[in-house]
């Protein structure tokens, strides 16, 4: 009997050393520690042992039971700990999670591009406020109080004398009032018009104003500058034309059109900017002597320009903040 107990202990130790999973641990438990397992069977056969031997055999049987049970428990604990560990195991070979990276809005990109081109042509950048006086937005720019041109722009008035600027031209007035010529600057910013919202017009958009005032500025220079811009911005083969136009603050005035050719559709001329020679009245209004100085000015819509360049058909999409659209640029 003692031999049997020793053998069982040895075979248990051996089996234990082979345990490598929860399944084989369970097999071990069934084989030795279950109700019909080898250890219980040995306890069964204790009744056949002679009275004198019983205490000794009983003692080593108890030791076997303690030994097997404690070894089993130990092993079980090890397995459970390992399992917990494997849950928090970090697989360093896995690729990282890609986080979405923000990007500049297409309008900001377009504005940056326009600014860079004009900086390259010798223009500096100047900015003015979005809330303007009626004087700067209209009066100083030669719109008489009852001038019909005032109706050309439907305006958001804040008070009788203050409004949300309808164009960036009031920044010309500020620049010419604050600084003395020669002046050469572009003036980017938001402008507001109280118009019905549609695919073509929005209540808010951006313009870039340009102004050059010196003693010998010519219309030919104005054209040359705008053509140089269009070639850099739209491409060397851009098709353009100048049309005579009217603005109260320039004389003579013109508009520049660029040929728009959407894929698979009929092309057409699109107006991209207004321009002209600064009206002598405007120079007088800002205290610059029109006998001594001449200037040219131009103003372009940024949305228009971006839509034309990137083939965007609806201006509203530029203000929707839809990531599916924005991430394309
Ligand atoms: N301010 C004019 C507009 O908003 C554009 C313009 C600017 C025209 C400068 C001529 C000179 O339409």
Ligand 1 center to 166 CA (angstroms):
10
Residue 152 has pLDDT above 70, yes or no: no
Q: How many C-beta atoms lie closer than 10 Å to residue 311's C-beta?
A: 10
Structure tokens at 287: 């205290």
Question: If pLDDT is split at 50, 70 and 90, which confidence band does 148 have?
Answer: low
Q: Is 143 in the pocket of ligand 1 (CB under 6 A)?
A: no
Closest CA to 195 of 325, 322, 316, 326: 316
Which atom number of ligand 1 is nearest to the Cα of residue 207?
4
At which of 88, 120, 139 does a domain end? 88
Same domain, 121 and 62: no
Question: Any idea what DSSP says for residue 157?
Answer: B
Q: Which ligand 1 atom sits closest to the C-alpha of 210?
A: 9
Neighbours of 295 (CB within 10 A): 26
Residues 6+ apart with CB under 8 A from 103: 326, 327, 329
What integer pLDDT is reported at residue 119 of this predicted model? 97
Give residue 120's pLDDT band: very low, low, confident or very high (50, 70, 90): very high
Verify that 119 and 59 share a domain, yes or no. Answer: no
Burial of 301 (0-12, 13-18, 19+ CB in 10 A): buried
What is the rounded average pLDDT of the residues 64-86? 81
Are 12 and 128 contained in the same domain?
no
Strands 268-278 and 250-260 come out as antiparallel
In angstroms, what is the span from residue 152 Cα to ligand 1's centroid?
12
Tokens for 274, please give them: 């207004």
Shared domain check, 182 and 135: yes
CB 193 within 8 A of CB 166: yes
Ligand 1: does its nearest atom lie under 6 Å from the Cβ of 299? yes
| 89/261 Cα distance (integer angstroms) | 57
pLDDT of 187-234, one tens digit each?
A: 999 999 988 899 888 999 999 999 999 999 999 999 999 999 999 999
State if residue 189 touches ligand 1 by the CB under 6 angstroms criterion: no
Q: How far is the CA of 169 from the centre of ligand 1 (A)?
A: 6
- Report which protein residue has its CA nearest ligand 1's atom 7: 299
Retrieve residue 62's tokens: 């108890």
CB atoms within 10 A of CB 112: 12
Q: Pick from 154, 247, 277, 304 the residue to mutate for probing ligand 1's pocket: most ligand atoms within 8 Å of its CB.
A: 247
- 326/82 Cα distance (integer angstroms): 47
The span from the CA of 111 to the CA of 161, in Å, is 30
* Last residue in a domain, options 61, 88, 115: 88
Q: What residue owns the CA closest to ligand 1's atom 12? A: 274
- The CA distance from 303 to 207, in Å, is 8
Domain boundary among 35, 57, 88: 88
Question: What pLDDT shows up at residue 299?
Answer: 98
pLDDT of residue 244: 97
Q: 113 with 83, same domain? A: no
State which residues form the domain around 162. Answer: 106-326
Give percent above pLDDT 70 in the chain.
96
Q: Which of 63-67, 144-148, 150-154 has the lowest mean pLDDT?
A: 150-154
Rounded to 5 degrees, φ, ψ at 56 are -65, -50
Query: Do residues 200 and 305 both lie within one domain?
Result: yes
pLDDT digits (tens, 9 = 90+) for 30-55: 999 889 888 888 888 888 888 888 88
Mean pLDDT, the chain, integer: 90
Structure-token pair, residue 177: 């009032």
Q: Are 328 and 117 in contact (CB under 8 A)?
A: no
Best residue among 165, 226, 274, 301 to mutate for probing ligand 1, ranked by most atoms within 8 Å of CB: 274
- Tell whether 100 is covered by a domain: no
Phi and psi, residue 192, nearest 5° = -135, 135
Question: What is the Å distance from ligand 1's center to 31 Cα?
Answer: 95
Among 94-98, 129-133, 288-292, the minimum mean pLDDT is found in 94-98
Flag whether 210 is in a domain: yes
E strands, the chain, where? 124-125, 131-133, 162-164, 183-192, 204-214, 240-247, 250-260, 268-278, 294-301
Task: Specify whether 179 is located in the same domain as 317.
Answer: yes
Q: Does residue 288 sit in the same domain as residue 143? A: yes
Q: How far apart are CA 303 and CA 107, in angstroms?
A: 7
Q: How far is the CA of 108 from the centre of ligand 1 (A)?
A: 21
54 & 82 share domain: yes
CA angle, 291 then 294 then 298, to 5°? 150
Residue 274, ligand 1, Cβ within 6 A = yes
Q: How remote is the CA of residue 103 from the centroid of ligand 1, in Å? A: 30
Distance, CA of 202 to CA of 193 (rounded, Å): 8
pLDDT tens digit sequence for 261-307 = 877 888 889 899 999 999 999 999 999 999 999 999 999 999 999 99
State the pLDDT at residue 150.
Answer: 66
Ligand 1 pocket member 247 (CB < 6 A): yes
Kindly give the distance from the C-alpha atom of residue 137 to the centroid of ligand 1, in angstroms, as a whole number. 11
In a domain, 194, yes or no: yes
Indicate whether 222 and 114 sit together in one domain.
yes
Residues 140 and 55 reside in one and the same domain: no
* 82 and 110 inside one domain: no
Q: Check pLDDT > 90 for residue 96.
A: no
Q: What is the CATH number of the domain that holds 279?
A: 3.30.930.10
Asked if residue 96 is part of any domain, the answer here is no
Atom number, ligand 1, closest to the C-alpha of residue 172: 9
Establish if 93 belongs to a structural domain.
no
Say if 126 falls within a structural domain.
yes
Q: What is the pLDDT of residue 87?
A: 60
Domain count, the chain: 2
Is 267 a domain residue? yes
This model's pTM is above 0.75: no
Q: Is residue 97, in this structure, part of any structural domain at all?
A: no
- Whether the per-residue pLDDT at 317 is higher than 60: the answer is yes
């Amino acid at each position: 009997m003692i031999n049997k107990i020793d053998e069982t202990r040895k075979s248990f130790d051996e089996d234990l050393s082979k345990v490598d999973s929860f399944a084989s641990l369970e097999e071990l438990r069934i084989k030795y520690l279950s109700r019909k397992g080898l250890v219980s069977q040995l306890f069964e056969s204790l009744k056949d042992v002679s009275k004198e031997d019983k205490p000794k055999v009983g003692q080593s049987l108890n030791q076997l039971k303690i030994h097997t049970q404690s070894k089993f428990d130990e092993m079980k604990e090890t397995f459970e700990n390992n399992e917990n560990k494997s849950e928090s195991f970090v697989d360093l070979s896995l690729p990282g999670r890609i986080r979405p990276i923000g990007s500049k809005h297409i309008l900001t990109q377009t504005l940056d591009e326009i600014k860079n081109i004009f900086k390259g042509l010798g223009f500096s950048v100047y900015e003015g406020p979005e809330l303007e006086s009626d004087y700067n937005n209209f009066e100083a720019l030669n719109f008489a109080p009852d001038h019909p041109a005032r109706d050309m722009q439907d305006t958001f008035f804040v008070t009788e004398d203050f409004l949300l600027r309808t164009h960036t031209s009031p920044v010309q007035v500020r620049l010419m009032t604050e600084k003395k010529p020669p002046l050469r600057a572009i003036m980017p910013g938001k402008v507001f018009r109280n118009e019905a919202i549609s695919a073509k017009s929005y209540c808010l958009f951006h313009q870039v104003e340009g102004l050059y005032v010196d003693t010998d500025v010519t219309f030919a220079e104005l054209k040359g500058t705008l053509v140089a811009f269009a070639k850099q911005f739209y491409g060397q083969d851009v098709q353009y034309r100048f049309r005579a136009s009217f603005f109260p603050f320039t004389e003579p005035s013109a508009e520049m059109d660029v040929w728009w050719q959407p894929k698979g559709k009929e092309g057409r001329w699109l107006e991209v900017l207004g321009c002209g020679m600064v009206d002598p009245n405007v120079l007088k209004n800002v205290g610059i002597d029109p006998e001594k100085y001449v200037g040219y000015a131009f103003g372009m819509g940024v949305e228009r320009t971006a839509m034309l360049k990137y083939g965007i058909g609806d201006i509203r999409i530029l203000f929707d903040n839809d990531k599916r659209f924005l991430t394309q640029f």
